[in-house]
Structure 1
Amino acid sequence: MPDPGPSPLQSSLPGAAARFGAHGHGRGAEALDAVRAAPGDLPPEPAAPSYSLPSTGTVPAPRPVPPPDAAPAAEGTLPGGAAAAGTAAPALERLLRGPSGLGTTGLRFARGAQPPPEPATAQADAPPGRPVPGLYHHPVPEPDPVRVEELGRRIKAWAVDEVELFPPDWEDQFDGFSLGRYMVACHPDAPTVDHLMIATRLMAAENVLDDVYCEDHGGSPVGLGGRLLLAHTALDPLHTTAEYHPLWERSLEADAPRRAYRSAMEYFVREATASQADRYRHDMARLHLGYLAEAAWSETDHVPEVWEYLAMRQFNNFRPCPTITDTIGGYELPADLHAQPAMQRVIALAGNATTIVNDLYSYTKELDSPGRHLNLPVVIAEREDLSVRDAYLKAVEVHNDLMHAFEAAAAELAAACPVPNVLRFLKGVAAWVDGNHHWHRTNTYRYSLPDFW
């Protein structure tokens, strides 16, 4: 089947970030315009010019104050015309108004940001699912159906024929995951479906390990460290003696996660540079460390403090996916630029925000599963003594704060270092953030929202 070509690359950096140019950075508006206008096939620079980057990439958060011109929502109403319930209405209205405080006005409608949700009677041709009311996000075009179909066909052939990823009775769950739609939405600048397949194999492998080792399909915290360590050697090969090497090689065929990790990594390193491959191994080690922390809390029936949970989620999150956006785009962000504290902050905030999106959309799914699943609303409810509804609404606020911090950090870095491959990488990470939300919102096979509105 001929490759349909790359999808249009959407920008995910806020228009409001041009403020940095007006307040001392000079290049803020120009840098952001360059990021938005960058074509999908922008070539990498052979060597990055010397620019001084901020030491931390942080932007001081404005002190929240009530916006003087904020128009209150209609009294006693919620999105869709539902009646407000008790004292929860102010929290919900605050979410729907967007960020408040000095300097935040421009953030409300940046980059096509969503206005308050429309009533449930939306257009018949709208994509399935609805966004979490009050969630700060940016809509994306529906993924290219030709690419989605071809990617879905290829990933299923790999899963079934190459790595035996799942038994026949899991087929509907594999299909319902909609990996093709997910990766096409997240990587709109991928030059070919072959490039998209690199990301899709890795995503499939990561998810089957989570299910089989940690979650729904036989996962357990007991002994998880040993299983993760052995699986990680499929990504970061064991260097041992001639006597023991064949035993390790055979172990990589022992279960679906190891088979998938090994195969997906082999395809990845064929296209990635050595630096990109090592970056990915590092981020997967971070992910596995987060799995272990959550497992330890499960074994001791410990509910962490909210800040502790967010610390765990900075490791157990989507970071390995957006951090390889340059490989999937067919270029490289050099290691010295990727490792800068300002870039690391952008990537970390992107991973944190997208992972809270997962907490919010998978909330009802996890409540229906056996045992107690830690997610941000559950932790907030227990640790801050809130109702489940108010805890969920506060979790939306946490997500929104992370998104605004991500966009501000990305804009500041774009202004400080307007190198073409830096701008393209920032644009790719932001596209991944938006695509991830689109997939969660529209995957009604897996997710449904709680009845809080």
Structure 2
Amino acid sequence: MPDSGPLGSSHREQRPTPPTAVPPSLPSPPSLPTALSSPPMAASVVRETPDLRAPTSAVPDAPDTRAAGSALQGVLRGPTGLGTSSLDLAGRYKYKPPLPDPVSAAPAPPAAGRAVPGLYYHPVPEPDPVRVEEVSRRIKCWAEDEVQLYPEEWEGQFDGFSVGRYMVVCHPDAPTVDHLMLAARLMVAENAVDDCYCEDHGGSPVGLGGRLLLAHTALDHVHTTAEYTPAWRESLTSDAPRRAYHSAMDYFVRAATPSQTDRYRHDMARLHMGYLAEAAWAQTGHVPEVWEYLAMRQFNNFRPCPTITDTVGGYELPADLHARPDMQRVIALAGNATTIVNDLYSYTKELDSPGHHLNLPVVIAEREQLPERDAYLKAVEVHNELQRAFEAAAADLAEACPLPAVLRFLRGVAAWVDGNHDWHRTNTYRYSLPDFW
């Protein structure tokens, strides 16, 4: 599973199970300001998300990726040349932090952390520190006060996850901190489920399906008889992961359109199916073929995060555009590439932990009988091919369907891909690279 749990430590030793006391009730999410509306775009293309206070086939051939990087840069950065600045949607809608005080106007040094040598990636600007600090403060208050997510002894691990930096660097066009918090709560909740049900903190593959199914009902509500509804409602506060899912989804549903909400539920079902495949292999001791592992990773990956980039940006990519096969390919490739980034950066962390953990270098080494170093370097090349395929697919879609909503969504997904790598690179609390160079 993506090694990105907010409760995850630098090693995967067993931890006490999370608190299970049922709080009296979850506090209702506060009403959010009307300033969350996005900048205006063409009404025929983009449907604005509701005010946050409202109630609640064919197998594609491998693409030619040789010119993908330069083509995608045109999508991301917009047109250039005299008189084209007004056409630059990325510049128009990107969040612009306040100008720094003249005394501290010198450029800040890049954040610590070494990139995987040979990895194909794009550097990103340092995220706005004011936003990072505010998201970090709010998400910790939510975790501690609203959902009682972790016991006091796990506080350092939560802080080391660096949620604030992660969200700000991945969503540069979010209009407000309230928008960033929509993604932050869901990210933390997703990884609490991963940690507490599957891995680091008392998780196990045994019985995982039942736990995931009941947790999923916090995202996709049960519609049953009057006699049994109260018991289901009570179950939503019965453990930390379900409290987190329930609360985070409540905020999200009130901010998103119905189609965005259903899209997210669908992607979370995909994620949970991937968890179950990996758990089944763990129970039987099966080491999958490389292609089988990559198929599992298309489901057990980061896809739910970039797919909500329009909600976090304060606009909507209409459902018919999101459902296009070429858009689905872009999103799938983005999820696949970013998840292999996780495999590469968490490699030594997983080797140092008890048990046998599947990641791409391990599977390549075992299935293709390669030394650890050669398997790791081959995994880097797998990532690079996926990243270039993502960029080629995004560039092709931008050319085929150059609508403002499509272009903005593609920029948002690409920003998430780049920001996800930056977070892994800079999170030296969690990750260190193997000594293969």
Normalising to structure 2: TM-score of the pair? 0.79
> Contact 1:166 / 1:256 at 8 angstroms: preserved in 2?
yes
> Contact 1:42 / 1:420 at 8 angstroms: preserved in 2?
no
Deviations, residues 319-371 of structure 1 (Å, cap 9, x unaligned): 00000000000000000100010000000000000000000000001111110
Aligned to 2:133: 149
> Contact 1:231 / 1:261 at 8 angstroms: preserved in 2?
yes
SS in 1 for 2:299: coil
Deviations, residues 167-204 of structure 1 (Å, cap 9, x unaligned): 10110000000000000000000000000000000000
Match of 2:40 among 40, 43, 50: 43
> Contact 1:56 / 1:342 at 8 angstroms: preserved in 2?
no
Aligned to 1:118: none
Match of 1:335 among 309, 313, 319: 319
Instruction: Give the AA of the match of 1:287.
Output: L
Deviations, residues 257-295 of structure 1 (Å, cap 9, x unaligned): 000000000000111000000000000000000000000
Q: How far, CA to CA, are the matches of 1:138 and 1:392 in structure 2?
A: 20
1:277 equivalent in alignment to 2:261: yes
> Contact 1:231 / 1:258 at 8 angstroms: preserved in 2?
yes
Instruction: Give the AA of the match of 2:198.
Output: C
SS in 2 for 1:314: helix
CA spacing shift, 1:446–1:374, aligned 2, 3 Å: same
Q: How far, CA to CA, are the matches of 1:189 and 1:258 in structure 2?
A: 30
1:260 equivalent in alignment to 2:244: yes
> Contact 2:72 / 2:392 at 8 angstroms: preserved in 1?
no
Instruction: Give the AA of the match of 2:336.
Output: N
Aligned to 1:360: 344
Q: How far, CA to CA, are the matches of 1:175 and 1:278 in structure 2?
A: 31
- Structure 1 position 108, deviation (Å): 8.2
SS in 2 for 1:424: helix
> Contact 1:365 / 1:447 at 8 angstroms: preserved in 2?
yes
- Structure 1 position 110, deviation (Å): 7.6
Q: How far, CA to CA, are the matches of 1:250 and 1:391 in structure 2?
A: 48
Report % sequence identity: 77
Q: How far, CA to CA, are the matches of 2:406 and 2:60 in structure 1?
A: 17
Q: How far, CA to CA, are the matches of 1:346 and 1:44 in structure 2?
A: 23
1:173 equivalent in alignment to 2:157: yes
Instruction: Give the AA of the match of 1:309.
Output: Y
Aligned to 2:425: 441
Aligned pair count reads: 359
Instruction: Give the AA of the match of 1:304.
Output: P
Q: How far, CA to CA, are the matches of 2:252 and 2:348 in structure 1?
A: 34
Q: How far, CA to CA, are the matches of 1:106 and 1:279 in structure 2?
A: 28
CA spacing shift, 1:108–1:327, aligned 2, 3 Å: closer
Which runs of 5 or more structure 1 residues have no equivalent in the other structure?
A: 1-39, 50-54, 63-102, 113-122
CA spacing shift, 1:42–1:395, aligned 2, 3 Å: farther
- Structure 1 position 46, deviation (Å): 2.6
SS in 2 for 1:47: coil
Aligned to 1:61: 63
Q: How far, CA to CA, are the matches of 2:436 and 2:73 in structure 1?
A: 28
> Contact 1:58 / 1:409 at 8 angstroms: preserved in 2?
no
CA spacing shift, 1:124–1:241, aligned 2, 3 Å: closer
> Contact 1:440 / 1:447 at 8 angstroms: preserved in 2?
yes
**Matches for 1:75-90 after TM superposition, within 5 Å:** none
1:185 equivalent in alignment to 2:182: no
1:205 equivalent in alignment to 2:167: no
CA spacing shift, 1:278–1:108, aligned 2, 3 Å: closer
Instruction: Give the AA of the match of 2:316.
Output: E
> Contact 1:144 / 1:184 at 8 angstroms: preserved in 2?
yes
**Matches for 1:229-248 after TM superposition, within 5 Å:** 229-248=213-232
> Contact 1:187 / 1:428 at 8 angstroms: preserved in 2?
yes
1:293 equivalent in alignment to 2:302: no
SS in 1 for 2:250: helix
Q: How far, CA to CA, are the matches of 1:426 and 1:240 in structure 2?
A: 39
Q: How far, CA to CA, are the matches of 1:268 and 1:376 in structure 2?
A: 33
1:196 equivalent in alignment to 2:158: no
Match of 2:66 among 69, 81, 104: 104
Give me the CA root mean square deviation.
2.1
- Structure 1 position 60, deviation (Å): 4.3
Instruction: Give the AA of the match of 1:133.
Output: P
Q: How far, CA to CA, are the matches of 1:57 and 1:327 in structure 2?
A: 30
Match of 1:128 among 103, 107, 112: 112
Instruction: Give the AA of the match of 2:276.
Output: L
